[in-house]
Amino acid sequence: MAEIRRLVRAQHLDYPSDEYVEGLRARVTPPSPFKPEDKLHNRSFNFLTRHQLLGFYHPDDHSMMAHRFMLYLPRAKELIEGLALSGEKAPSIVSRLKSLDIRATIPAVQRYLSYYWDLSLVDSMELRALLRMRVEYPNYQSEMGELPPQDRLQRDAMKKAAYGDARMMVASMSSSPMAGILSQMRYGYMPTKADLSRLASATRVAALVRAYDVMLDGRASEAAGAGQGFALIAKLMGEILEDVGGGDELLASQLHQLAVKTDTQPVPTLFQLSQGNHATDMGPTVVNGEPVKEPIDG
């Protein structure tokens, strides 16, 4: 078990616990004999495919990019993990990485999220604990006498810096859409008018609900002051909505930009266009100055 912990820490990954690893070993049993490098060994190959481990033993270019590039490039690792926590999908994450001149492909980001940052395996409390362990593990090493004295200053600095980490902030917030907006701002991406409108609308509703709640509390003196404060917040959010535009107004504005300009003049008839020289079957009505009684075939 100690060797597994060492390997996981050496790859800058999160080690959940010895109990988790023991449970994983009990649930996932490889075939015997196990020959993961041999594609022709059907039982081993099916095992790798079933548990989505094929990319570790037979990696393609996208898997190699996740293993050898994204995992070891701190900025790429931070952006992928932070934006995924904010609810961003792989195409959007790739676009953000490329804007910083970081090589990325959609399959490579999907591989990273599957191999190293699968958020479906943990709840919000477990996620916060794992992120916290990144900071606390050096402190544990220090207490066990494993951390050299010259590294303790670095440990303290990392611990202080962790409080401003966007990943820690998003994981600690209860509202993931709002956390997503704040996280994107931490990474330098300003919210659009639609985001601001949604945020102002949600804040106004929350303030009105809180105002209603405190007014029913029964303590008139305290309720009046608190209710007034929440009501003022709701009023200010309404004014902000007027400035940025609500959702309906924003949609109407965007549709207006896509509107096709049309001519309001009446459409001329076929008789007006040809001065009476064509019938509705598009055949000529006059040939060499003589009227045509029957349509002329090609």
25-69: pLDDT as tens digits: 888 889 989 999 998 999 999 999 998 889 999 999 999 999 989
Does one domain contain both 233 and 282?
A: no
Is 179 a member of any domain? Answer: no
Shared domain check, 249 and 269? no
Residue 232 domain-assigned (yes or no): yes
Do both 74 and 6 map to the same domain? yes
Q: Assess whether 51 and 65 both reside in one domain.
A: yes
Q: Is residue 185 part of a domain?
A: no
207 and 272 in a single domain? The answer is no
On whether both 29 and 64 belong to a single domain, the answer is: yes
297 and 272 in a single domain? The answer is yes
Cis omega before residue 74 (within 30°)?
Answer: no
**283 and 243 both lie in a single domain:** no
Model's pTM, two decimal places? 0.61
Q: What is the pLDDT of residue 224?
A: 67
- Determine the structural domain holding residue 283 and report its residue range: 262-298
Residues 95 and 199 both lie in one domain: no
Phi first, then psi: give them for residue 287, nearest 5 degrees. -130, 125
Is residue 6 domain-shared with residue 154, that is, in the same domain? yes
On whether residue 182 sits in a domain, the answer given is no
How far is 203 from 232, CA to CA, in rounded Å? 12
247 and 294 in a single domain? The answer is no
* Contact of 147 with 141, CB cutoff 8 Å: yes
Q: Which one of 172, 203, 231 terminates a domain? A: 172
d(CA 56, CA 35): 13
Does some domain include residue 250? Answer: yes
Q: Are residues 230 and 211 in contact, defined by beta-carbon separation less than 8 angstroms?
A: yes
Residue 106's pLDDT is what?
95
Query: Residues in the chain with pLDDT < 50?
Result: 296, 298
Is residue 108 classed as helix, strand or coil in its secondary structure? helix
Ramachandran angles phi, psi of 99, nearest 5°: -65, -20
In angstroms, the first-to-last Cα distance of the chain is: 89
Q: What is the residue type of 39?
A: K
Q: Is residue 281 part of a domain?
A: yes
d(CA 278, CA 273): 9
How far apart, in whole angstroms, are the C-alpha atoms of residue 135 and residue 158? 7
Strands (E), the chain: 286-287, 290-291
Count how many domains the chain has. 3
Q: Which two tokens stand for residue 144?
A: 């066990």
**Do the domain assignments include residue 186?**
no
Q: What pLDDT is stored for residue 298 in this prediction?
A: 46
Residues 38, 25, single domain; the answer is yes
Is 184 within the bounds of a domain? no
Phi, psi for residue 37 in degrees, rounded to 5: -80, -15
The answer for residues whose C-beta is within 8 angstroms of residue 127's C-beta and 6 or more apart is 119, 171
Residue 204: half-sphere exposure toward Cβ, Cα within 13 Å:
16
